[in-house]
């Protein structure tokens, strides 16, 4: 059988749902027993006349049984509520023992009716059908074996009642029933079979619960992996698409704050963080608005990608447009005095990349690799040499349908780590 590995957070949440379901079952059972007790008082105690003094003890026995059973269920509900606080699982032995105790209630009632009426009538009395109610309620335990166990215990109790009825009052059985024992045996089989059927249903419900929780966990993993730097629309697509490795055509942007080391040398760590946050915050919004994601922060800069993991034919246009918007917003914020003066360098290249989640279950990071990434980083570093702020590759310029004659072009530019020269276009 194929086994699935669930994370600790998933297992904890699943245990929580099991405890909630079990508490709900216990409370339902307490209400159910209370209603039956009220009906019993109204119909039997106050309306049923018994002349035989020896049978009166059996009549009043449920007056102690039902309140005690309700009390036990309420205690269990309290215990389960405490377990929910600590999210601890219930003991399997206790759950099976509780099943036996629950089913002993209708068994006791059948025994009472067998003694205040006749053994045969007791077997067909209303309490005999309560076995099915208890079996049905076991579906809330989301455990095939517990439901099946409920059916077999009910069949065992009812079978014991049949044996008792035959031994103490076989003469009360109708002739056609007395001569056809298969009728009584079939009722035991029906109880056992209903437990199996409810067990199958509980398994299906458990599977649906697991699937729902797994979807929730996957959503949490996506949000944890991408943080707050992904727009809700992109995050939704990531959830639907999953974290599988993909080869896509995208545009990669590297951004760096110029002379940051000199700036940071004269500031306290708190001032440095405050400055970076004030600079990066509007940039993150701009990246999101242009359907991009911040893949990672690099101290005084970041790497962003457009067109991945969700493919977008306009990735180059979006990257170039966001670069212009970032530069204009930065200059505007400096003029307004939102933060100290800063100069940035941006490099963009478009091409094929590989995207996917790398790492282990405890630490996962969405990673983008490929020559496109390396070249984009090299292009950004050329801003110092060309005294520029936005540089793009020829590939990006063509995909963005830029008019190359309107910009300064650096032909045959040698890029570190590459043999072939590259054509670079200066946008700002």
Asked if residue 211 and residue 70 are part of one domain, the reply reads: yes
Q: What's the domain range around 290?
A: 228-426
Q: What is the mean pLDDT of residues 36-50?
A: 68
Asked if residue 236 and residue 217 are part of one domain, the reply reads: no
- Asked which of 224, 254, 288 is the last residue of a domain, the reply is 224
2 occurs within a structural domain? no
Give the residue ranges of DSSP H helices in 127-268.
Answer: 130-137, 144-169, 175-178, 182-226, 232-241, 260-265
Query: Domain count of the chain?
Result: 2
Asked if residue 213 and residue 270 are part of one domain, the reply reads: no
Measured at the alpha carbon of residue 343, what is the angle toward residues 415 and 276, in degrees to the nearest 5? Answer: 105
Strand partners, 364: 359
Instruction: Look at residues 68, 77, 141, 167 and name the one whose alpha carbon lies nearest to residue 108.
Output: 68
Asked if residue 106 and residue 16 are part of one domain, the reply reads: yes
- Which secondary structure element, helix H or strand E, spans residue 371, and what is its range? helix 371-381
122 occurs within a structural domain? yes
Asked if residue 363 and residue 277 are part of one domain, the reply reads: yes
Return contacts of 31-39, CB within 8 angstroms, 24+ apart: 32/133, 32/137, 33/66, 33/69, 33/70, 33/73, 33/105, 34/66, 34/70, 36/66, 36/130, 37/62, 37/66, 37/67, 37/70
Asked if residue 242 and residue 372 are part of one domain, the reply reads: yes
Asked if residue 280 and residue 220 are part of one domain, the reply reads: no
Asked if residue 289 and residue 162 are part of one domain, the reply reads: no
**6: its two tokens:** 């669930």
315 occurs within a structural domain? yes
pTM (two decimals): 0.54
376 occurs within a structural domain? yes
Asked if residue 260 and residue 189 are part of one domain, the reply reads: no
pLDDT at 7 > cutoff 80? no
3 occurs within a structural domain? no
Asked if residue 146 and residue 268 are part of one domain, the reply reads: no
Q: What is the mean pLDDT of residues 107-111?
A: 84
pLDDT attached to residue 1: 38
Asked if residue 134 and residue 215 are part of one domain, the reply reads: yes
End-to-end CA distance of the chain, in Å? 62
Per-residue model confidence as pLDDT tens digits over 124-181: 888 888 889 889 888 877 889 989 999 999 999 998 988 888 888 777 777 656 556 6
């Amino acid at each position: 059988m194929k086994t699935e590995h669930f994370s600790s957070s998933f297992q904890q949440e699943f245990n929580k749902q099991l405890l909630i379901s079990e508490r709900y079952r216990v409370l339902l059972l307490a209400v159910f027993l209370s209603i039956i007790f009220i009906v019993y008082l109204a119909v039997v105690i106050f309306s049923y006349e018994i002349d035989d003094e020896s049978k009166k003890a059996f009549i009043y026995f449920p007056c102690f049984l039902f309140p005690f059973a309700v009390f036990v269920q309420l205690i269990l509900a309290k215990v389960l509520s405490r377990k929910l606080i600590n999210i601890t699982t219930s003991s399997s032995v206790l759950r099976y023992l509780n099943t036996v105790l629950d089913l002993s209630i209708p068994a006791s009632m059948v025994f009472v009716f067998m003694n205040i009426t006749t053994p045969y009538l007791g077997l067909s009395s209303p309490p005999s059908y309560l076995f099915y109610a208890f079996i049905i309620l076991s579906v809330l335990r989301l455990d095939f074996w517990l439901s099946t166990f409920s059916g077999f215990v009910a069949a065992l109790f009812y079978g014991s009642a049949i044996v008792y009825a035959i031994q103490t009052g076989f003469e009360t059985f109708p002739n056609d029933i007395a001569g056809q024992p298969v009728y009584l045996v079939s009722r035991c089989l029906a109880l056992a079979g209903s437990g199996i059927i409810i067990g199958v249903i509980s398994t299906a419900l458990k599977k649906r619960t697991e699937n729902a929780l797994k979807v929730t966990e996957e959503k949490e993993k996506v949000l944890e992996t991408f943080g707050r730097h992904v727009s809700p629309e992109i995050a939704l697509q990531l959830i639907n698409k999953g974290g599988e490795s993909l080869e896509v055509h995208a545009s990669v942007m590297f951004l760096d704050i110029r002379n940051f080391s000199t700036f940071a040398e004269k500031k306290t760590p708190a001032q440095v963080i405050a400055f970076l946050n004030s600079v990066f915050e509007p940039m993150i919004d701009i990246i999101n608005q242009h359907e991009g994601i911040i893949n990672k922060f690099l101290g005084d800069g970041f790497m962003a990608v457009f067109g991945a993991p969700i493919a977008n034919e306009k990735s180059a246009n979006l990257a170039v447009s966001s670069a212009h918007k970032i530069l204009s917003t930065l200059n505007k914020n400096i003029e307004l005095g939102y933060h100290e003066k800063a100069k940035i360098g941006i490099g963009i290249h478009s091409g094929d990349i590989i995207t996917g989640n790398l790492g282990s279950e405890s630490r996962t990071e969405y990673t983008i690799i490929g020559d496109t990434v390396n070249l984009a980083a090299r292009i950004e570093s050329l801003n110092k040499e060309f005294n520029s702020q936005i540089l793009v590759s020829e590939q990006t310029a063509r995909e963005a349908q830029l008019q190359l004659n309107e910009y300064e072009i650096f032909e045959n530019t040698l890029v570190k780590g590459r043999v072939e020269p590259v054509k670079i276009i200066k946008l700002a």
